[in-house]
Chains A and B, each alone.
Chain A
Amino acid sequence: MDANFLITTIIGTVCFAVLAPVIGCLIDGIDRIVSARMQGRVGPKLLQPYWDVRKLLGKDKVAVSGSEDTYIGLALFFAILAGGIFFSGGNLLLVVFVITLSSLFFIVAAYSTRSPYAEVGAARETLQVMSYEPMVLFMAVAFYQVVGTFDTSGVFLLRHPAICTAWGAFIGLCFVLTIKLRKSPFDISSSHHAHQEIVKGITTEMSGPTLAKVEIMHWCETVLFMGWVGVFFVFSHPISILVAVLVALVIYLFEIWVDNNFARVKWQAMLKWAWIVALVAGGLNVAVLAFI
């Protein structure tokens, strides 16, 4: 590992830590307004997610387990680090592993509370990780086959965007994106909308400032995942970055539409379909790329 890589990663991570929560917060605000309009409501103001987090930070500090806040802090740190590595042109495979590590700390935080509701949520979150992970790895492999390197900066040397030959992996990614963004029909670990089933799943015991960190972590994750979507459309032409941003927005709107139109499924169905899509869309794509 050379010093140059280390410095770009650190700068990238600091920039991501500053910018991603802002962008993620605005995306979340738009998400809530669009969702409300789809349900025939007016919905909250654009900055409502920011106000929610500020309120949570001002709440009294109470924790069932002393280590919970530390685990959540680590989950947030690794989510930011993953974003930093990705947007500074680092290794995509490393990004996948670091963001998974972040998810694991989130799960451990829920387990550390020993609450039955949080444990059910944590078990379900584990199943979610199990469901989307194969497809995410297929995406990284397909990316390597097309670009010739795992480094995301490699896309700027391409003559055609990766989507031309890796559209199977892209479709697979869009499918598991619903799980990663914790949206219905796959919001089984935290019951995003109803706020009723298994109390609040994985975040049941998290409150006040700890919950605020979870929200900020979700914002960072959203920005990173939109980056994954966009990276398929970037190539040597500078205008492709604009196209990538637009595609990411369209895909996010599509996710909101899916979120509002599909009822939550059981975990068995989620696992089955996520793996089927991973093997068909991702697996075939990787196989075909290996032979051409």
Chain B
Amino acid sequence: MGFASKSPWVIHYDASSCNGCDIEVLAALCPGYDVERFGIINTGNPKHADIFLVTGSVNEQNKPVLQEIYNQMLEPKVVVACGCCACTGGVFHDCYNVIGGVDQAIPVDVYAPGCAVRPEAIIDAVVEGLGVLEQKAAALKENQKKGA
């Protein structure tokens, strides 16, 4: 196991969630679940983050914001869609202003369903994301070697 998966720093963005999923994301960081045991830290800075947790569905207003945060994150990076709205648009999927899930704006690696998504499901999704992160880290290392 490489170092990429031993210290996954997350950044959380609320696209247009009802706040249910946001509270569960923060609950995972609180003493009850204490994800810092696995080295997970909540950063407010995309340039420091490895895992992007997005809650809520995407609309035209927040699509560029979402893309901007994604672009500012450094490789290797993983996107986790937290909750039904972030996965597919959820109950808001046929709203006039909703485009759909997070994957309509940026590439998503792991989907964590639920309304609201349970902290256990978020932790599971992040652990699943660690595998992807590890693969991407290995690919980046390979590319850097070729480039050098």
Write 11 A-B pairs (CB below 8 A) sorted by A numbering: A36-B36, A41-B37, A54-B7, A55-B4, A58-B3, A58-B141, A199-B44, A199-B45, A200-B48, A203-B48, A207-B47
- B1-41 residues with Cβ-Cβ distance < 8 A to A are 2-4, 6-7, 31, 34, 36-39, 41
- Whether B141 and A41, one on each chain, are in contact in the complex, defined by CB atoms closer than 8 angstroms, is no
Chain B residues whose C-beta falls within 8 Å of the C-beta of A200 in the assembled complex: 43-45, 48
Q: A39-B31, A55-B6, A195-B45 are in contact. Are A48 and B39 (CB under 8 A)?
A: yes
Interface residues contributed by chain B, number (CB under 8 Å): 25
- Whether A58 and B2, one on each chain, are in contact in the complex, defined by CB atoms closer than 8 angstroms, is yes
A227 at the interface (CB under 8 A from B): no
- Whether B34 and A41, one on each chain, are in contact in the complex, defined by CB atoms closer than 8 angstroms, is yes
Taking the nearest CB of chain A, how far is it from the CB of B13, in angstroms? 13
A58, B75: Cα distance in complex, Å: 9
Interface residues contributed by chain A, number (CB under 8 Å): 30
- Whether A60 and B3, one on each chain, are in contact in the complex, defined by CB atoms closer than 8 angstroms, is no
Taking the nearest CB of chain A, how far is it from the CB of B60, in angstroms? 25
Chain B residues whose C-beta falls within 8 Å of the C-beta of A45 in the assembled complex: 37, 39
- Whether A51 and B36, one on each chain, are in contact in the complex, defined by CB atoms closer than 8 angstroms, is no
Chain B residues whose C-beta falls within 8 Å of the C-beta of A32 in the assembled complex: 36
- Whether A204 and B47, one on each chain, are in contact in the complex, defined by CB atoms closer than 8 angstroms, is yes
- Whether A195 and B4, one on each chain, are in contact in the complex, defined by CB atoms closer than 8 angstroms, is no
A55, B42: Cα distance in complex, Å: 16
The 8 Å CB contact of A59, one of B38, B39, B45, B74, is B74
Taking the nearest CB of chain A, how far is it from the CB of B25, in angstroms? 14
B76 at the interface (CB under 8 A from A): yes
Chain B residues whose C-beta falls within 8 Å of the C-beta of A41 in the assembled complex: 31, 34, 36-37
- Whether B7 and A43, one on each chain, are in contact in the complex, defined by CB atoms closer than 8 angstroms, is no
Taking the nearest CB of chain B, how far is it from the CB of A12, in angstroms? 31
A48-80, CB under 8 A of B: which get 1 and which 0? 100110110011101000000000000000000
B140 at the interface (CB under 8 A from A): yes
The 8 Å CB contact of A55, one of B3, B31, B37, is B3
The 8 Å CB contact of B7, one of A42, A52, A199, A208, is A52
A121, B39: Cα distance in complex, Å: 25
B137 at the interface (CB under 8 A from A): yes
A58, B38: Cα distance in complex, Å: 18
A196 at the interface (CB under 8 A from B): yes
B50 at the interface (CB under 8 A from A): yes
The 8 Å CB contact of A211, one of B4, B31, B48, B140, is B48
A182, B147: Cα distance in complex, Å: 38
Taking the nearest CB of chain A, how far is it from the CB of B74, in angstroms? 5
The 8 Å CB contact of A195, one of B2, B6, B42, is B42
A255 at the interface (CB under 8 A from B): no
- Whether B45 and A40, one on each chain, are in contact in the complex, defined by CB atoms closer than 8 angstroms, is no
